Structure 1
Amino acid sequence: MPNSNSNRYILLIDDEPDLCRIVKVTLERLKGWSILTAYTGQDGFTLAQTQPLDAILLDLSLPDGSGLEWLQTLKTNPATRPIPVILFPATDPTDLTDPTSIQELEIDYSDIAGIILKPFNILHLADQIGTQLHW
């Protein structure tokens, strides 16, 4: 059974510490959600396997590989497969001119709960997450 709306656990995997701090503080204060952060795909994957999570926000540009490759890792692991993943990129991953697009890597759209492009309005982020996850 999912957590109640005020008791959500979200993992943010992004290599920008300032962005992580802003997202963490804002979502914790506005919604009371618990936000875990990881700066690499590997650290995020490790946390996702060991923490009860309601969602993952996943950047596409990570120091240890593409976020789409980490998405494939998350979605092929039985422990992390059920966790909804929202992509959190600076560029649109559905852009067919980009060699790291979803189509190029043959990502299944059903593996993605949504996409929130940067830059975003921090005050609307919680609502965007809630809408995409049907919370």
Structure 2
Amino acid sequence: MAHVLVIDDSSTMREIVSNFLSQNGFDVVQATDGRHGLEQLSKDPSIKLVLTDVNMPNMDGLTMAEKIRNEQGNKSVHIVMLTTEDNPVMRDRGRSIGVTGWIVKPFRGEAVLGPFRKFCGL
């Protein structure tokens, strides 16, 4: 089963996304912010996709993505931002970090199943 890490400070959003992915064959781990996400990713090297919000307390999603790529040296995990932010400057920063994709909320699960399955080797 493909491992996906869902990170959002909103428990409602985490549950919506996690439940949808679980119902569609993904093994989901959750985190409440970027710091917690880094911990989860460190504990589980089988995670192939990180789906994260940008704006969160303690550590935002873009900073976390930088740490995944630069400090942890993890270039293989796919990182997709799921956010209300549609700012071109933020998107450019994400691209320069190595963010794989950018989805503006609301989450439309059916539209991303194909790419997510590909990212996870399903």
Of the candidates 113, 116, 123, which is equivalent to residue 103 of structure 2? 116
Q: C-alpha offsets along residues 42-93 of structure 1, whole Å, 9 cap, x if unaligned?
A: 1100010110211101210111132111111111133634211111111124
Q: Which runs of 5+ in 1 are unaligned?
A: 1-6
Larger RCO (CA within 8 A; separation ≥ 6): 2
Q: Which has the larger radius of gyration?
A: 1
Q: C-alpha offsets along residues 13-38 of structure 1, whole Å, 9 cap, x if unaligned?
A: 111111111111111112x1101110
- Tell me which residue corresponds to 1:127: 114
Q: Which 4+ runs in 1 deviate beyond 6 A?
A: none
RMSD over aligned CA atoms reads 2.2
**1:17 maps onto 2:11 in alignment:** yes
Count residues with an aligned counterpart: 120
Q: Percent identity?
A: 18
Between structures 1 and 2, the one with greater strand share: 2
**1:49 maps onto 2:49 in alignment:** no
Structure 1 residues 27 and 110 mapped into 2: Cα distance closer, same or farther (>3 Å)?
same
Query: What is the distance in 1 between the residues matched to 2:120 and 2:32?
Result: 27
TM-score (normalizing by structure 2)? 0.83
Alignment-mate amino acid for residue 39 of structure 2: T
Between structures 1 and 2, the one with greater helix share: 2
Q: C-alpha offsets along residues 91-110 of structure 1, whole Å, 9 cap, x if unaligned?
A: 124x24xxxx244xx55536
TM-score (normalizing by structure 1)? 0.76
Q: Which runs of 5+ in 2 are unaligned?
A: none
- Tell me which residue corresponds to 1:64: 58
Structure 1 residues 33 and 91 mapped into 2: Cα distance closer, same or farther (>3 Å)?
same
Contact 2:51 2:82 in 1 (8 A): yes
